[in-house]
Amino acid sequence: MVKFSTAGESHGQGLVIIVEGVPAGLPISEDYIGIHLGRRQKGYGRGGRMLIEQDRAKIISGVRHGHTLGSPIGMTVENKDWANWKEAMSVDPLEGPPQSPRTQRITRLRPGHADLPGAMKYGFEDVRNVLERASARETAARVAAGSIAIKLLEEFGVCIHSHVISIGSVHAQVPDTVDWAAVEESPVRCADPDAALKMAAEIDATKAAGDTVGGVCEIIAENLPIGLGSHVSWDKKIDALVCQALMSINAVKAVSIGPGWEIAEQRGSQVHDVILPVTDPDHPWRRNTNRLGGTEGGMTNGMPLVARFAIKPIPTMVTPLPSVDLDTGEEVLSHFERSDVCQAPPACVVGEAMLALVLADAFMEKFGGDSIPETKRNFQGYMATVGPRKIYR
């Protein structure tokens, strides 16, 4: 089973990541992980923090001479900004009165952030104790973990892409064939150049108003084998696992497989993806459409797995919302701290990581193996059985 966990506060010393269950023999490097971390840092609408950080994961265990060992992979990502937060985020108790304004307690609650429920739940008197971990800085750790899952899936021909399909009320016209290289170059990760310009203008207008704006991201995994996940139990269904993983990304408020809500308005004949007669034994079970997003019965069906999520506007705003003070319960303006204006482009990269981690886990559950060659043998053995039953056994 591929599992991962993360630790680290936004302005602490750094992030810690452990990834378990990756078979031995997977080629992996800090440079490769760095490519994905760099992709997360890009995006029109990001705040000043991304100018400070140049994320780089240091692998400290589980890899030798460029290949995984089958043991837990440990990584750290340093926070460059830590230098400015040493007192405010000191592990040791402070000796004497605080010197830095950053150490001051935060009591002005931000609607839409974790401040209020977190402070109540953990009994804190300083909202910083909540916001440091609730911050999406943690998603850099997920991308480091996810890049190892992406690499594992790549060994089996699976590739993962993502793009922004709307920002605010600006919607992209997604072409039938997406130029993924162009999406990587798009400042808003959009496949429609005209919409991309309007999205950037929407972000500019939002920023000028001291406000924030959300969007919808689409994540796609291509070339998946049929049969990942299972129909037999609720907690093995791949669509449910994907939705849980994507919903766990900070600020995500809705997730769908395929277009989701839209299909509820249509008839069955407009929705279900007709299975075509098998003419190519190497590519059985093809469909002309993929309206259901590549899963049936909680399993991948051999079509690309397509998931979408809606991400809400960022809760920290230059023009603060009315709120209340944690100490007094009296009306104040909510706290502002350096923040993004729109996080949909980087959220796509986080979505890729989360999708890859779920798929890598399902992959290892289905094919097993302690080394990449063993997993490949198991994979190839299964794939040789996938086809019409009178031809393939």
Ligand X SMILES: Cc1cc2nc3c(=O)[nH]c(=O)nc-3n(C[C@H](O)[C@H](O)[C@H](O)COP(=O)(O)O)c2cc1C
**Which residues form the interface with ligand X (CB under 6 A)?**
47, 113-114, 134-136, 139, 249-251, 312, 314-316, 339-340, 343, 346-347, 350
Q: Could you give the 3-state DSSP secondary structure of residue 360?
A: helix
**Looking at beta carbons only, is 50 or 226 nearer to ligand X?**
50
**Looking at beta carbons only, is 10 or 300 nearer to ligand X?**
10
**Looking at beta carbons only, is 222 or 337 nearer to ligand X?**
337
Interior/surface letters 9-30, b for 16+ CB within 10 angstroms, e for the rest: bbbbebbbbbbebbbbbbebee
**Looking at beta carbons only, is 213 or 303 nearer to ligand X?**
213
Structure tokens at 174: 């997604």
**Looking at beta carbons only, is 64 or 80 nearer to ligand X?**
80
CB of 66 to ligand X, least distance (A): 30
| CA separation for the pair 324, 274 (Å, rounded) | 55
**Looking at beta carbons only, is 113 or 128 nearer to ligand X?**
113
CB of 107 to ligand X, least distance (A): 17
CB of 115 to ligand X, least distance (A): 9
CB of 280 to ligand X, least distance (A): 40
Q: Could you count the other beta carbons within 10 Å of the beta carbon of residue 47?
A: 16
CB of 113 to ligand X, least distance (A): 5
Find, among 38, 32, 47, the residue nearest to 342 by Cα: 47
| CA separation for the pair 98, 104 (Å, rounded) | 8
CB of 232 to ligand X, least distance (A): 31
| CA separation for the pair 50, 288 (Å, rounded) | 42
Give the CA-trace dihedral at 333, 337, 339, 341, to 10 degrees: 20
CA gyration radius, the chain: 23
